[in-house]
């Protein structure tokens, strides 16, 4: 089954790369043909030179390390970022143009079928040409908005989590969650500070940060953690590592800096916390590798069984939401994750939400539930079913603050989450 899933994902990747080649060929060849029509040689040669430079730069962004080292760090980041904004916008603009073209072709075919002698009027041709221009402009405007405004328009998401058998003392416990900061050129220190200030206004009892403080080893890890240390909650600020801490070789450094700044980052560890006389068990793990990552990986959350308490509720900090099934089987009432960024770009097609994050997980964003304990989640991954004990385990996937790959958010605002635990009798 894993091998088949891997082959499917490889096929999807190959198709995606093929579509990128197709769409960029359309735009770049179209631009070249347009430049060739310019009668003035100086202007034509200048634009052809710029076209070649743009093509080389665009291809180079697929090897962004090379581009970032060729330019100064900040300029390199922005060059790669802008190229990826172009990639997203031009990708969707291509299909918008093709859709309008298909409608125009269908209109012409229907006209010829009804009235074979009738020719295609110039007015109708002009209409579809201008409609194609308008359709193509929409993705570019959306990408510009997603870069200039969407990625920095923080949204506070308030969620009640109805946990069966929650001790009455813990009813109303508030947890503020931040995730996927990705501090860097597109997430400067001031923006991290603004998010922390917004989180503090929620007056939560516990603050948690679920990984990906940085994108790579060149990002200012200490700056990020120093800003996160300004989170204020009576039960303190706690965290876990994400996959980018692995890539940057910063897992140990993150833990040390958390401690240095008066917080605690849990790495296959747990801590018992008390709230109004009630106790709960907070568990944190490093990034849990699965079939989408390289390197060694086995059963998720392996070895944490001794950390799970049976005498009090458990809250798990695990960056990868795919660990939820295993967490539910182990009897962990609430898991908090990030990692997906909600896909960063999301749109609706015939009442269905389309998000690139669905390629890596079924847990894209928001609140999910699975049967609680007894290994029941291995047989059922659908919501609305209870385990043999009648309880449900919950997962909340935070959409993250920062961006990665492309500095754009469209339909997926950066998120600050306030979760409130509520007592719910077993059903």
Q: Which CATH number goes with the domain that contains 170?
A: 3.60.21.10
Within 10 angstroms of residue 348's Cβ, the number of other Cβ atoms is 9
Domain end: 88, 120, 148, which one? 148
pLDDT of residue 160: 97
Strands 392-397 and 366-371: antiparallel
Domain co-membership, 215 together with 175: yes
pLDDT of residue 78: 73
Domain co-membership, 166 together with 137: no
Q: Which residues, 6 or more positions from 270, have their beta carbon under 8 angstroms from its beta carbon? A: 281, 282, 283, 284, 307, 309
pLDDT of residue 128: 84
The reply to whether the predicted model has a pTM over 0.85 is: no
| Among candidate residues 238, 175, 172, 176, the one with its CA nearest the CA of residue 211 | 238
Domain co-membership, 246 together with 304: yes
Domain co-membership, 101 together with 171: no
Q: How many Å apart are CA 319 and CA 287, to the nearest integer?
A: 6
Domain co-membership, 201 together with 329: yes
Domain co-membership, 232 together with 197: yes
Domain end: 110, 128, 148, which one? 148
Strand partners, 237: 207
Q: How many Å apart are CA 292 and CA 362, to the nearest integer?
A: 13
Domain that holds residue 7: 2-148
Total domains in the chain come to 2
Crossing angle (nearest 10°) for helices 122-148 and 73-114: 150
Domain co-membership, 169 together with 103: no
Domain co-membership, 106 together with 174: no
Domain co-membership, 141 together with 168: no
C-alpha torsion angle, residues 410, 198, 324, 329 (rounded to 10)? -150
pLDDT of residue 72: 53
Domain end: 126, 148, 170, which one? 148
pLDDT of residue 6: 64
pLDDT of residue 236: 98
Burial class (CB in 10 A: 0-12, 13-18, 19+), 212: buried
Domain co-membership, 190 together with 323: yes
pLDDT of residue 3: 64
Residues in the chain with pLDDT values less than 50: 1, 292-297, 377-386, 388, 426-427
Domain co-membership, 269 together with 320: yes
Domain co-membership, 130 together with 169: no
Residue given tokens 């998010």 in the structure block: 195
pLDDT in tens, 312-352: 999 999 999 999 999 999 999 999 999 999 999 887 665 56
Q: How many Å apart are CA 227 and CA 194, to the nearest integer?
A: 10
pLDDT of residue 111: 75
């Amino acid at each position: 089954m894993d091998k088949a899933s891997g082959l499917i994902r490889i096929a999807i990747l190959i198709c995606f790369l093929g579509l990128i080649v197709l769409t960029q060929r359309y735009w770049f060849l179209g631009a070249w043909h347009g430049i060739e029509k310019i009668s003035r040689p100086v202007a034509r040669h200048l634009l052809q030179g710029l076209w070649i430079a743009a093509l080389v730069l665009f291809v180079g962004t697929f090897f962004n390390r090379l581009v970032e080292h060729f330019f100064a760090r900040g300029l390199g980041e922005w060059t790669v970022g802008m190229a990826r904004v172009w990639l997203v916008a031009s990708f969707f603009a291509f299909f918008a143009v093709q859709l309008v073209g298909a409608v125009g072709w269908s209109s012409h075919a229907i006209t010829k079928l009804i009235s074979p002698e009738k020719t295609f009027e110039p007015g109708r041709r002009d209409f579809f040409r201008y409609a194609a221009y308008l359709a193509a402009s929409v993705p570019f405007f959306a990408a510009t908005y997603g870069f200039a405004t969407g990625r920095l328009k923080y949204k506070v998401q308030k969620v009640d989590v109805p946990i069966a058998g929650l001790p009455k003392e813990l009813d109303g416990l508030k947890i503020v969650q931040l995730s996927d900061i990705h501090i860097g050129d597109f997430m400067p220190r001031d923006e991290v500070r603004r998010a922390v200030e917004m989180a503090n206004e929620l007056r939560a009892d516990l603050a948690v940060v679920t990984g990906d403080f940085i994108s790579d080893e060149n990002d200012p890890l200490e700056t990020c953690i120093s800003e996160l240390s300004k989170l204020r909650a009576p039960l303190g600020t706690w965290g876990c590592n994400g996959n980018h801490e692995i890539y940057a070789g910063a897992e140990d450094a993150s833990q040390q800096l958390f401690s240095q700044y008066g917080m605690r980052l849990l790495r296959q560890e747990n801590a018992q916390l008390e709230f109004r006389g009630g106790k709960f068990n907070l568990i944190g793990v490093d990034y849990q590798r699965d079939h989408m990552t390289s390197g060694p990986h086995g059963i998720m959350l392996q070895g944490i069984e001794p950390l799970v308490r049976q005498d009090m509720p458990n809250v798990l900090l695990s960056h990868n939401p795919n660990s939820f099934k295993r967490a539910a089987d182990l009897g962990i009432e609430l898991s908090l994750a990030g990692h997906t960024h909600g896909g960063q770009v999301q749109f609706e097609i015939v009442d269905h939400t389309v998000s690139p994050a669905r390629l890596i997980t079924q847990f894209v964003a928001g609140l999910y539930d699975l049967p609680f304990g007894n290994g029941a989640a291995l047989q059922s991954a659908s919501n609305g079913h209870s385990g043999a004990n009648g309880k449900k385990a919950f997962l909340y996937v935070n959409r993250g603050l920062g961006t990665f790959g492309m500095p754009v958010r469209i339909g997926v605002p950066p998120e600050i989450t306030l979760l409130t635990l509520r007592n719910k009798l077993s059903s």
